[in-house]
Amino acid sequence: MSYIKLLEVTKKFGEVIAVNNLNFEIGEGECFSMLGPSGCGKTTTLRMIAGFEDIDGGEIYAGDKILSSKKKGYYLPPEKRDFGMVFQAFAVWPHLSVYENVAFPLKLKKLKKDEIVKRTNEALKHTNLLDAAKKSPADLSGGGKQRVALARALAINPKVMLLDEPLSSLDPHLREEMRFEIKDLQKHYGFAIIYVTHDQSEAMALSDRILVMKLGVVQQIDSPLKVYNEPANKFVFSFIGLSNFLNVSIADNGIKTKDSGIISYGKYPIDNALKNQKDIVLASRPSEIGFLSEGGIPGITKRKSFLGEIIDYAIDVDGTEIRIQKGRKEPGPNAGETCHLDFFHPHWYSRDN
Ligand SMILES: Nc1ncnc2c1ncn2[C@@H]1O[C@H](COP(=O)(O)OP(=O)(O)O)[C@@H](O)[C@H]1O
Ligand SMILES: [Mg+2]
């Protein structure tokens, strides 16, 4: 069942449309990521949901409660929205102990003393901070400080956690470990997560669904698998994983490059809408290209690198570099040799987007 709902939400800063007509719904207990390059509007969207930014158009709901509505001129302040929040910067109060940091929002809510003690200890326990309760957050590592921020957000028992690049200040090893800790906490507490990141592997590892954004506009909302296997456009394709793009022209029942014969599209037909365009783009992952002994699309092997388990090839096709990755035991050409490529899982896109 959907819980958070954004309807035609728009936000402008002067001339810049930071978020343009955004629509999505998030279910109870779902982990939903917003993924996209820096400046695409992720933080602005999260801040509108949190209530730190008003909206210039549209409506935001939590269940059947309105949070923001331009039409109705309504805006609920952040402290009444009851969301847990963790941001990239280690936003913990250095003059308070770890325990006091976590208990502080509960005191603001004027909860009973024994309830504050119970909830604070529970949050500290689940973030492995009980031993550090009396310390100053200043004495903790980056990972420790982010745990304090997480514990503080958990203690209010939110239905939704808003996380804005919470792991990006941590080193890679710790970042990976804390992904799993966040998932474990979610399982225990049952909150929904709205997770902002520019790191596609983080979004893939954590999420039930991913929203991919470009310049304030949604490009695709799907499961991680679907976003990877069926990217909606060239931008999504290029943003998720290693990608190859080759300009091709449509010929009778197939495609051709400058130097190739006509290649039939066989198992992967082109949409009729695209067939009306003469020039299109063939997109492919490095693992979805094979070597033929003849035919296919001709290229010249520029580089062959052994990377342990895999061999990475750079092939020149009509002046475009195509990356191919094969298992170390699979046959392939040597540097300098001509080769023949078989794009066995092509994706076709318009050249425009
Ligand atoms: N307070 C602000 N004043 C003016 N422009 C802003 C402000 N906050 C964000 N922007 C602009 O809005 C766009 C989206 O920014 P942001 O939401 O921070 O992107 P992201 O989090 O995806 O990196 C950018 O062009 C940014 O410069
Ligand atoms: Mg941001």
User: pLDDT tens for residues 5-18?
Assistant: 999 999 999 999 99
Burial of 216 (0-12, 13-18, 19+ CB in 10 A): buried
Locus of tokens 């999505």: 24
- Terminal Cα-to-Cα distance of the chain (whole angstroms): 33
Q: Which domains are seen in the chain, by residue range?
A: 2-233 (3.40.50.300), 242-350 (2.40.50.140)
Testing ligand 1's pocket by substitution, the residue of 10, 16, 168, 239 carrying the most ligand atoms inside 8 A of its CB is 16
Q: Determine whether the shortest distance from the Cβ of 276 to ligand 1 is under 6 A.
A: no
Of the pLDDT bands very low, low, confident and very high (cuts 50, 70, 90), residue 353 is low
Ligand 2 midpoint to CA 253 (Å): 45
Region 218-242: mean pLDDT is 94
2 has pLDDT over 90: no
CB-based contacts of 214: which residues, under 8 Å, 6+ apart? 36, 37, 40, 235
Q: Which two tokens stand for residue 61?
A: 């709901």
- pLDDT for the residue 262: 81
Pairing verdict, β 16-27 and 2-13: antiparallel
- pLDDT for the residue 177: 86
User: pLDDT tens for residues 168-189?
Assistant: 888 888 888 889 989 998 998 8
Region 27-41: mean pLDDT is 96
- pLDDT for the residue 75: 94
- pLDDT for the residue 3: 93
- pLDDT for the residue 257: 85
User: pLDDT tens for residues 93-138?
Assistant: 888 999 999 999 899 889 999 999 999 999 999 888 999 999 999 8
User: pLDDT tens for residues 69-94?
Assistant: 999 999 999 989 989 988 877 678 88
Task: Give the number of other CB atoms < 10 A from CB of residue 74.
Answer: 11
Q: Which two tokens stand for residue 259?
A: 């130097």
- pLDDT for the residue 141: 84
Size (the chain), residues: 353
* Whole-structure pTM value: 0.89
Which residues fall inside 5 Å of ion ligand 2, going by CB?
A: 43
For the chain, what percent of residues have pLDDT higher than 90? 71
Dihedral sign, CA of 109, 114, 115, 118? Answer: positive
Closest CA to 352 of 285, 277, 296, 286: 277
Phi/psi of residue 258, nearest 5 degrees = -55, -45
Using DSSP's 3-state secondary structure scheme, residue 101 falls into helix
**Structure-model confidence comparison of residues 173 and 163, the more confident one:** 163
**34 CA closest ligand 1 atom index:** 22
- pLDDT for the residue 265: 72
- pLDDT for the residue 267: 65
Ligand 2 midpoint to CA 346 (Å): 33
Q: Determine whether the shortest distance from the Cβ of 44 to ligand 1 is under 6 A.
A: yes
Q: What is the mean pLDDT of the chain?
A: 92
- pLDDT for the residue 90: 65
Testing ligand 1's pocket by substitution, the residue of 11, 12, 13, 55 carrying the most ligand atoms inside 8 A of its CB is 13
**Structure-model confidence comparison of residues 93 and 21, the more confident one:** 21
Ligand 1 midpoint to CA 131 (Å): 39
Region 219-224: mean pLDDT is 97
Region 31-40: mean pLDDT is 96
User: pLDDT tens for residues 251-276?
Assistant: 877 888 887 778 877 767 787 778 88
